[in-house]
Structure formats: structure tokens, C-alpha cells
Structure 1
Amino acid sequence: MAEFAIPFCSIRYQDGVDEWGINFSRFSLLQNEKSAWAPVPDNSNPLPWPSLGHYNGIKPPPKLGTRFSIIPFLSGQGSEDIDEAPSE
């Protein structure tokens, strides 16, 4: 069993949406078996949008507008010349 939390701010959606396209799949190496919640044809592209299952009743919160964040970072470099002969 696995549980995932996907924040609504990371998904693009229209206001008032309550039907979502979703699918879950897994591949078992032990049994060489591929299974999915909504059936996906073998000849479909990697993103089979028409084959997604429909999940109803999730009402997302109102959009908060543009999400913007700044992540500061610091980078540095140093070098040192070392003489091969010791100084006296």
C-alpha cells in the first residue's frame, strides 16, 4: 500500500472542476505482469489521456494566483599553490 499527497498548488486545473482523469499502474518483475486501475491499451502512447479513469467528487480549494518562490544558494571555489620544496 502507498499513500501520496499531491498539493493542489502543483496541479493546473480550471475553477469549478470536480471530475479528474487519473490512473494508477504497477509492473511486477516477479510475475512479469503489468496492471492498471483504468485499462490502458498495449498500443497506446506513453501518456494515454483517453484511457484515464474518472474520479469524481474532489473539490479543490480556490486558486491562490501565481505561485512564486526564490531559493537562494551560495557557490564558492578556492585554490592554493603549494611549493614542492619546504621553505626554511
Structure 2
Amino acid sequence: MAIMSNPKLLLLDEPTAGMTLDETQKTAELIHRLSERMAVIAIEHDMAFVRALACHTYVMHQGKIIAEGDFSDIENNELVRDVYLGRA
């Protein structure tokens, strides 16, 4: 429904929750197409989905941005690993 109104900004909160791997991949492809005509912000915990988006990524912890950049930079960031693996 949100896409039908052709917004300038589309906000998605965990859009792949409960989806199969195939559905998740198709959603990533849809978001790629949509991002050509609108800004898209997705809040997501599924790292395979975030990786599939292959876009600029921000990581937040306790309301603060702790890292940003390409996904490859994010997944290799020691602070991100510490926070999300429970070491910090």
C-alpha cells in the first residue's frame, strides 16, 4: 500500500520478518528497483538481507550510530562484532 502512493521516502521496519530465503531475496531485488525512484530506509536484523541490499549501512546501538559504510566494512568492524556478539 505504501508503494502505491509513490512516496519520496519509504520507511520499512523489518520488511523480511517471517519470510523464506527466496522471499527475502525477492524483497531485496524489489527494494533495489524502488531505490531508483525513492529513498528507502530499512530497519533490519537479518544480515543476509542487509548484505543482499549492498547499500550504505548504518549500525545503531542504544540510540547512537556506532558504524556506517559499505556492508563489507560493517561486518568486519570490531565494535559492531563486540556489540552484537555480546562482547561489549
Give the TM-score normalised by the residue count of structure 2: 0.19
Larger Rg belongs to: 1
Give the TM-score normalised by the residue count of structure 1: 0.19
Indicate the structure with greater strand content: 2
Higher RCO by CA contacts (8 Å cutoff, separation 6 or greater):
1
Indicate the structure with greater helix content: 2
